[in-house]
Amino acid sequence: MPNIKPVSDLRNYGEVLRDVAVGQPVFLTKNGHGRYAVLDMEEYRQYEILLAKEKLLKELEKGRRSGENGNWLKAEDVFRELEEKYNG
């Protein structure tokens, strides 16, 4: 069951933070609507990794579709683009 508290409970932030655990975020509401989520750092790291994987999969799918259309890039062009993107 989700742990939902009004944002005003942050006056007692120690109590709110004690309720946060891996897999058990605390959701804060403002004017009765969900506004914030307080996550354990490990859970946040896992979330970041998941987002990075999702982004990579989207780019790979985009590349696959581009290849199906015959829009191939030369290896030199790919390396140049990567060099520009990551090394400025």
Output the tens digit of pLDDT for each of the chain's 88 residues: 889 999 999 999 899 999 998 889 999 999 999 999 999 999 999 999 999 999 999 999 988 888 787 777 788 988 999 999 898 7
Cβ atoms of 10 and 28 closer than 8 Å: yes
Q: Where are the domains of the chain?
A: 3-39, 42-87
| Phi, psi torsion values for 38, nearest 5 degrees | -105, 120
Give one DSSP letter per residue of 15-40, joined into a string: HHHHT-BTTB-EEEEETTEEEEEE--
